[in-house]
């Protein structure tokens, strides 16, 4: 089957920069090992987003709330550099600094069909805050408010140390199938926040999108990741070793 324009762009980026061929890349969408969305070396960095009000941003978008925010919740984000709003609208999803991916509604609808209990979509308004540009406002994008937390990292195959209950993570590997390995706290041994509930707690049923308890990253089940349209400059990465190879450092 012929590749789409976005697939061709991503395929070329993966091959040229990371020596990953398209067929090999597709293999990571099989099985159950978690994936993360990461940026390729040719990602147009001017599309990264900043936030106007840090306190508002943190109160709404904290990945550690793990509860629904309700229909009235929204996030307002702005571009700090000059951008073309028509170019912004071409992207089905955008990687926002400190927040993860921002998706257009049609993709959110697809994700909701697969795992409606695992996350809540939160409305996002994209603004232009560059002082020398015409102001604009773009609707129709949504952030992911994950509602599940799992212990996705295989600690026996990873480099992890603890300081005041916070994990310091070096190279790490994800478990092959952690999607029911829930964890009801996000802190480790000797943490002042630890209430002796650190051992994993099983979820009622497997999830398909979650927050990893150790890294705080949003992780995706390969089956779910597979339904998300390819982005020309973003890709689903595996294990920390792969990212060290790709980027040289974390």
Domain ranges across the chain: 32-146
Compute φ and ψ for 136, nearest 5 degrees: -145, 165
Element (H, E) at 189: none
Choice among 40-54, 99-113, 217-231 with the minimum mean pLDDT: 40-54
Position 60 scores a pLDDT of 53
Percentage of the residues of the chain whose pLDDT score is greater than 70: 77
- The most confident of the ranges 3-7, 39-43, 201-205 is 3-7
Position 34 scores a pLDDT of 97
Average pLDDT over residues 172-191: 79
pLDDT, tens only, 124-137: 889 888 888 888 99
Structure-token pair, residue 231: 């982005």
CA distance 85 to 79: 10
Position 156 scores a pLDDT of 85
**3 state SS of 5:** helix
Q: What is the DSSP letter of 153?
A: B
Pairing of strands 137-146, 119-128: antiparallel
Position 132 scores a pLDDT of 83
Nearest Cα to Cα of residue 221 among 176, 183, 186 = 176
Q: Is the pLDDT of residue 108 over 70?
A: yes
Position 180 scores a pLDDT of 93
Position 223 scores a pLDDT of 97
| Beta-carbon contacts of residue 156 (< 8 Å; ≥ 6 apart) | none
E strand map for 114-233: 119-128, 137-146, 149-150, 160-163, 166-169, 209-212, 218-220
The torsion of the CA quartet 141, 147, 149, 153, rounded to 10 degrees, works out to -20
Q: Is the pLDDT of residue 58 over 70?
A: no
Q: Is the pLDDT of residue 192 over 60?
A: no
Position 249 confidence tier, pLDDT thresholds 50, 70, 90: very low
Pairing of strands 50-51, 36-39: unpaired
Mean pLDDT score across all residues of the chain = 82
pLDDT, tens only, 64-101: 457 787 877 788 888 878 888 998 888 899 888 667 88
Percentage of the residues of the chain whose pLDDT score is greater than 90: 35
CA distance 74 to 65: 15
Position 119 scores a pLDDT of 93
């Amino acid at each position: 089957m012929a590749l789409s324009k976005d697939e061709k762009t991503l395929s070329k980026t993966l091959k040229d920069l990371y020596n990953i061929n398209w067929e090999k890349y597709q293999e990571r969408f099989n099985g159950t090992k978690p994936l993360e969305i990461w940026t390729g070396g040719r990602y147009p960095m001017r599309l990264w987003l900043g936030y106007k009000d840090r306190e508002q941003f943190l109160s709404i978008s904290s990945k550690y709330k793990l509860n629904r925010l309700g229909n009235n919740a929204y996030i307002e984000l702005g571009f700090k550099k000059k951008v073309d709003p028509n170019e912004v609208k071409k992207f089905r999803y955008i990687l926002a600094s400190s927040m993860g991916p921002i998706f257009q509604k049609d993709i959110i609808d697809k994700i909701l069909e697969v795992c409606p209990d695992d996350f809540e979509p939160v409305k996002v308004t994209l603004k232009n805050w560059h002082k020398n540009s015409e102001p604009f406002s773009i609707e129709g994008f949504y952030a992911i408010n994950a509602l599940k937390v799992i212990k996705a990292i295989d600690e026996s195959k990873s480099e992890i140390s603890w300081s005041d209950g916070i994990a310091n993570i070096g190279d790490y590997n994800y478990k092959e199938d952690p999607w029911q390995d829930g964890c009801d706290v996000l802190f480790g041994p000797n943490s002042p926040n630890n209430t002796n509930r650190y051992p994993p707690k099983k979820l009622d049923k497997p999830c398909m999108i979650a927050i990893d308890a150790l890294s705080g990253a949003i992780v995706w089940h390969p089956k779910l990741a597979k339904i998300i349209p390819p982005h020309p400059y973003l890709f689903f990465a595996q294990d920390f070793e792969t990212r060290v190879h790709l980027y040289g450092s974390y």
